[in-house]
Structure 1
Amino acid sequence: MNAVDVIVEDEAWDAIEGKTRLVEQAIAAAGAEISDALPGVIAVLLTDDAAMADLNTRFRQKSGPTNVLSFPASEHTANHLGDIALASGVVISEARERSLRLADHLRHLIVHGFLHLQGYDHLEDDEALVMESIERRALARLGVADPYLETTGGGTEADE
């Protein structure tokens, strides 16, 4: 079981009604798809593009904002699994461009970020297939369409 602390820094996120509940449900659905899911507290930062660009530069040496970043906690951090940050402008723009419901795109990115906190990655093709499979199953639990189907405008280019 994971405790979730949602921090909203940008009022643009107010466009999503019940966002805290959606975040909690997405994490629970993803956790249910992993037999050995690590428990712990997760901080979810819903911020703006400028703050995300700063995080992306400081921690990944990449310029500009990205949709989602995940920061697994140190092994020495008691009961804290890690942090997930999302950029409002990027996420809203992606949802609009791909004709996705904003709440559904948020849930997908939360599932994606949570899987990174659990040690999953997508650098290699085989890793990506495993991660996408878990994402699909978790999102299906939530009634969210497969984000990797061509009909939804393609998958996410989530960066962590």
Structure 2
Amino acid sequence: MLTDCVFEDERWEDAGLEALAETAARATLEHLELGTAGYEIVVLACDDARIKELNADFREKDKATNVLSWPSEERAPDEPGETPFYPDIPDPDGPPEELGDIAISYDTCLREAEEGGIPFANHVTHLMVHAVLHLLGHDHIDDADATLMEGIETQVLGKMGIPDPYN
């Protein structure tokens, strides 16, 4: 498996996060033509209290958020709007290429899905695609970077039959 889910909140198990995370990660890597063999992503399935703590510790933001990502290495491009420096495709028989870690909060995801009238699974899938792109060096701080990242998210989700989350 590409993703390894660590469940701190059992509601994620009932929601099928393991399958959602795996499908989203695979779809993202395949879309970018990176293949899926030989990579590893750890996903922490948590609640608002835990993600708030992580957000405060790592981003100095004392509030809950939907998803956080920690890339294993810096892959950001030199100029805004450029493609990040994706990892080389690993040898599937060698040690896995660790892309990084993701934390996702059940409470915030559920609230956002309900407020947006979006199926929960679709919203979680979108956030997982978004988080995997962060692991690969994408960001949305600059407008050019946001346009590139959101375009890729929309394309990946569209191939999965999930409507554009930005419309």
- Give the RMSD, CA atoms, in angstroms: 2.0
Other-structure match for 2:39: 40
- Give the secondary structure class of the aligned counterpart of 1:42: strand
Match of 1:92 in 2: 110
1:62 alignment partner in structure 2: 61
Q: Cα distance, 1:19 vs. partner?
A: 2.4
Partner amino acid for 1:59?
F
Unmatched runs of 5 consecutive residues or more in structure 2: 75-95
Corresponding position of 1:12: 11
Assess, with a 3 A threshold, how the Cα gap between structure 1 residues 79 and 100 changes in structure 2: closer, same or farther: same
How far apart are residue 33 of structure 1 and its match? 2.0
Q: Partner letter of residue 129 of structure 1? A: T
Give the drift of 1:14.
4.0
Structure-2 change in CA distance of 1:102 and 1:119 (3 Å): same
- The percentage of aligned residue pairs carrying the same residue is 41
Consecutive unaligned residues in structure 1, runs of 5 or more: 150-160
- Is the 1:4–1:41 contact (alpha carbons within 8 Å) kept by the matching residues of 2? yes
Counterpart check, 1:144 vs 2:166: no
Q: 1:30 aligns with which of 15, 28, 31?
A: 28
CA deviation digits over 1:52-97, x for unaligned, max 9? 001000000000110000001147xx72110011111111000000
1:131 matches 2:131:
no
2:3·2:40 contact (CA, 8 Å) conserved in 1?
yes
What's the TM-score, normalizing by structure 2?
A: 0.81
Query: Radius of gyration: which is bigger?
Result: 2
What TM-score do you get using the length of structure 1 for normalisation?
0.84
* Structure 2 counterpart SS, 1:81: strand
Q: Is the 8 A contact 1:37 1:118 kept in 2?
A: no
